[in-house]
Protein backbone atom coordinates (compact mmCIF):
# COMPACT_ATOMS: atom_id res chain seq x y z
CA UNK A 1 0.00 0.00 0.00
CA UNK A 2 1.36 3.34 -0.90
CA UNK A 3 1.66 5.86 1.82
CA UNK A 4 -0.02 9.15 1.47
CA UNK A 5 2.20 12.11 1.77
CA UNK A 6 1.46 14.14 4.89
CA UNK A 7 -0.79 17.04 4.28
CA UNK A 8 0.87 20.19 5.29
CA UNK A 9 -0.97 22.74 7.41
CA UNK A 10 -2.02 25.80 5.50
CA UNK A 11 0.57 28.47 5.84
CA UNK A 12 -0.49 31.31 8.13
CA UNK A 13 -0.07 34.64 6.57
CA UNK A 14 1.15 37.29 8.96
CA UNK A 15 -1.19 40.17 9.83
CA UNK A 16 -0.13 43.18 7.88
CA UNK A 17 -0.09 46.69 9.26
CA UNK A 18 -3.43 47.71 7.73
CA UNK A 19 -5.28 44.70 9.20
CA UNK A 20 -3.67 45.29 12.60
CA UNK A 21 -4.76 48.94 12.66
CA UNK A 22 -8.30 47.96 11.60
CA UNK A 23 -8.52 45.39 14.41
CA UNK A 24 -7.13 47.88 16.95
CA UNK A 25 -9.61 50.54 15.80
CA UNK A 26 -12.59 48.16 16.05
CA UNK A 27 -11.49 46.89 19.46
CA UNK A 28 -11.12 50.42 20.87
CA UNK A 29 -14.48 51.40 19.39
CA UNK A 30 -16.06 48.34 21.01
CA UNK A 31 -14.53 49.17 24.42
CA UNK A 32 -15.74 52.77 24.13
CA UNK A 33 -19.27 51.68 23.20
CA UNK A 34 -19.50 49.19 26.08
CA UNK A 35 -18.13 51.64 28.65
CA UNK A 36 -20.40 54.49 27.52
CA UNK A 37 -23.40 52.17 27.52
CA UNK A 38 -22.58 51.07 31.07
CA UNK A 39 -22.15 54.65 32.27
CA UNK A 40 -25.40 55.71 30.62
CA UNK A 41 -27.24 52.85 32.31
CA UNK A 42 -25.78 53.72 35.74
CA UNK A 43 -26.58 57.40 35.26
CA UNK A 44 -30.19 56.63 34.32
CA UNK A 45 -30.86 54.44 37.36
CA UNK A 46 -32.77 56.28 40.11
CA UNK A 47 -30.92 56.42 43.40
CA UNK A 48 -33.56 57.73 45.77
CA UNK A 49 -32.80 56.96 49.37
CA UNK A 50 -35.08 57.18 52.35
CA UNK A 51 -35.13 60.71 53.70
CA UNK A 52 -34.09 62.36 50.41
CA UNK A 53 -36.19 64.19 47.85
CA UNK A 54 -37.64 61.67 45.43
CA UNK A 55 -37.86 58.96 48.08
CA UNK A 56 -39.97 58.20 51.11
CA UNK A 57 -39.48 60.57 54.06
CA UNK A 58 -40.59 59.51 57.56
CA UNK A 59 -41.98 62.48 59.50
CA UNK A 60 -42.71 60.73 62.79
CA UNK A 61 -45.62 59.53 64.87
CA UNK A 62 -48.98 61.32 65.27
CA UNK A 63 -47.61 62.97 68.41
CA UNK A 64 -44.83 64.58 66.33
CA UNK A 65 -47.30 66.37 64.02
CA UNK A 66 -47.97 70.08 64.40
CA UNK A 67 -51.35 70.89 65.93
CA UNK A 68 -54.26 71.80 63.70
CA UNK A 69 -53.97 75.43 64.84
CA UNK A 70 -50.14 75.50 64.53
CA UNK A 71 -48.27 76.63 61.41
CA UNK A 72 -47.16 73.91 59.00
CA UNK A 73 -43.77 72.23 59.48
CA UNK A 74 -41.12 73.10 56.92
CA UNK A 75 -38.98 70.29 55.46
CA UNK A 76 -36.53 72.29 53.30
CA UNK A 77 -34.19 69.39 52.46
CA UNK A 78 -36.99 67.40 50.84
CA UNK A 79 -39.01 70.39 49.56
CA UNK A 80 -42.39 70.08 51.24
CA UNK A 81 -44.55 71.60 53.94
CA UNK A 82 -46.34 69.24 56.33
CA UNK A 83 -49.72 70.74 57.16
CA UNK A 84 -52.11 69.35 59.75
CA UNK A 85 -55.71 70.46 59.21
CA UNK A 86 -59.04 69.47 60.74
CA UNK A 87 -59.54 67.01 57.85
CA UNK A 88 -56.12 65.38 58.30
CA UNK A 89 -52.46 65.70 57.41
CA UNK A 90 -51.09 66.56 53.98
CA UNK A 91 -47.74 67.32 52.41
CA UNK A 92 -47.56 70.31 50.06
CA UNK A 93 -44.89 70.64 47.41
CA UNK A 94 -42.83 73.80 48.08
CA UNK A 95 -42.95 74.92 44.45
CA UNK A 96 -45.56 77.51 43.48
CA UNK A 97 -47.86 76.38 40.69
CA UNK A 98 -47.52 79.70 38.86
CA UNK A 99 -43.88 79.89 37.74
CA UNK A 100 -42.04 77.56 40.10
CA UNK A 101 -40.90 79.94 42.84
CA UNK A 102 -40.52 78.66 46.39
CA UNK A 103 -43.31 80.06 48.54
CA UNK A 104 -43.27 80.60 52.32
CA UNK A 105 -45.65 80.50 55.24
CA UNK A 106 -46.85 83.95 56.30
CA UNK A 107 -47.50 83.59 60.02
CA UNK A 108 -49.21 87.01 60.29
CA UNK A 109 -51.79 86.20 57.59
CA UNK A 110 -51.84 82.41 58.23
CA UNK A 111 -51.45 81.68 54.51
CA UNK A 112 -48.81 80.49 52.09
CA UNK A 113 -47.54 83.43 50.04
CA UNK A 114 -45.32 83.34 46.97
CA UNK A 115 -42.76 86.16 47.08
CA UNK A 116 -42.30 86.30 43.29
CA UNK A 117 -45.76 87.17 41.94
CA UNK A 118 -48.02 87.24 44.99
CA UNK A 119 -50.00 84.02 44.71
CA UNK A 120 -51.64 83.06 48.00
CA UNK A 121 -52.87 79.70 49.27
CA UNK A 122 -54.71 78.44 52.34
CA UNK A 123 -53.07 76.13 54.87
CA UNK A 124 -54.37 73.12 52.94
CA UNK A 125 -52.91 74.43 49.64
CA UNK A 126 -56.18 75.69 48.15
CA UNK A 127 -55.80 78.76 45.91
CA UNK A 128 -56.79 82.13 47.41
CA UNK A 129 -55.42 84.92 45.23
CA UNK A 130 -52.84 85.78 42.57
CA UNK A 131 -51.81 84.48 39.15
CA UNK A 132 -51.38 80.80 40.09
CA UNK A 133 -53.55 78.64 37.79
CA UNK A 134 -54.28 75.89 40.32
CA UNK A 135 -54.03 74.70 43.91
CA UNK A 136 -50.67 73.62 45.29
CA UNK A 137 -49.36 70.20 44.31
CA UNK A 138 -49.33 67.58 47.04
CA UNK A 139 -47.28 64.51 47.84
CA UNK A 140 -48.76 61.17 48.84
CA UNK A 141 -48.93 60.72 52.62
CA UNK A 142 -48.85 57.22 54.10
CA UNK A 143 -49.61 55.80 57.52
CA UNK A 144 -47.42 52.77 58.19
CA UNK A 145 -47.46 50.20 60.99
CA UNK A 146 -44.14 50.68 62.82
CA UNK A 147 -43.70 46.97 63.59
CA UNK A 148 -44.66 45.29 60.31
CA UNK A 149 -44.00 48.14 57.85
CA UNK A 150 -47.42 47.55 56.29
CA UNK A 151 -49.12 50.60 54.76
CA UNK A 152 -52.37 51.09 56.68
CA UNK A 153 -53.66 54.17 54.83
CA UNK A 154 -52.53 56.26 51.88
CA UNK A 155 -53.71 59.51 50.28
CA UNK A 156 -53.11 58.65 46.63
CA UNK A 157 -55.53 61.36 45.47
CA UNK A 158 -53.80 64.11 47.48
CA UNK A 159 -56.66 64.62 49.92
CA UNK A 160 -55.88 65.15 53.63
CA UNK A 161 -55.28 61.84 55.37
CA UNK A 162 -57.02 61.42 58.75
CA UNK A 163 -54.44 60.43 61.34
CA UNK A 164 -55.29 57.72 63.87
CA UNK A 165 -54.48 58.30 67.51
CA UNK A 166 -52.23 55.22 67.56
CA UNK A 167 -48.63 55.69 68.81
CA UNK A 168 -47.58 52.54 66.89
CA UNK A 169 -47.94 54.13 63.45
CA UNK A 170 -45.46 56.19 61.49
CA UNK A 171 -46.44 58.92 59.07
CA UNK A 172 -44.32 59.16 55.94
CA UNK A 173 -44.37 61.22 52.77
CA UNK A 174 -43.58 59.79 49.35
CA UNK A 175 -41.88 62.72 47.58
CA UNK A 176 -41.55 60.65 44.43
CA UNK A 177 -45.33 60.54 44.05
CA UNK A 178 -46.72 64.04 43.39
CA UNK A 179 -50.43 64.75 42.93
CA UNK A 180 -51.13 67.72 40.69
CA UNK A 181 -53.28 70.46 42.24
CA UNK A 182 -56.76 70.96 40.85
CA UNK A 183 -57.55 73.97 38.63
CA UNK A 184 -58.82 77.01 40.46
CA UNK A 185 -62.49 77.85 40.22
Q: How far is CA 106 from CA 63, 102, 122, in A?
A: 24, 13, 10
CATH superfamily to which 56-179 belongs: Rieske [2Fe-2S] iron-sulphur domain (2.102.10.10)
Q: What is the rounded end-to-end Cα distance, in angstroms, of the chain? A: 108
Work out the pLDDT band at 49, boundaries 50, 70, 90. low
CA distance 171 to 85: 15
Half-sphere exposure (Cβ direction) of 125: Cα atoms closer than 13 Å: 30
Indicate the helix (H) or strand (E) that contains 33: helix 17-44
Most confident of 21-35, 69-83, 120-134: 21-35
Task: Output the pLDDT for position 12.
Answer: 79
pLDDT higher for 39 or 60?
39
- Do 78 and 57 contact (CB within 8 A), yes or no? yes
pLDDT score at 29: 93
Higher pLDDT, 121 or 158: 121
Amino acid sequence: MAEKPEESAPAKTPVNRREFLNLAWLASLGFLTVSMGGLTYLFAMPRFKEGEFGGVVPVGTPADLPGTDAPPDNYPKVKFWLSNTEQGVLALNKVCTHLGCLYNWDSQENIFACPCHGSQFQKDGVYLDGPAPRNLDRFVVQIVDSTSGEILAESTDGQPLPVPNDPNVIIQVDTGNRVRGSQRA
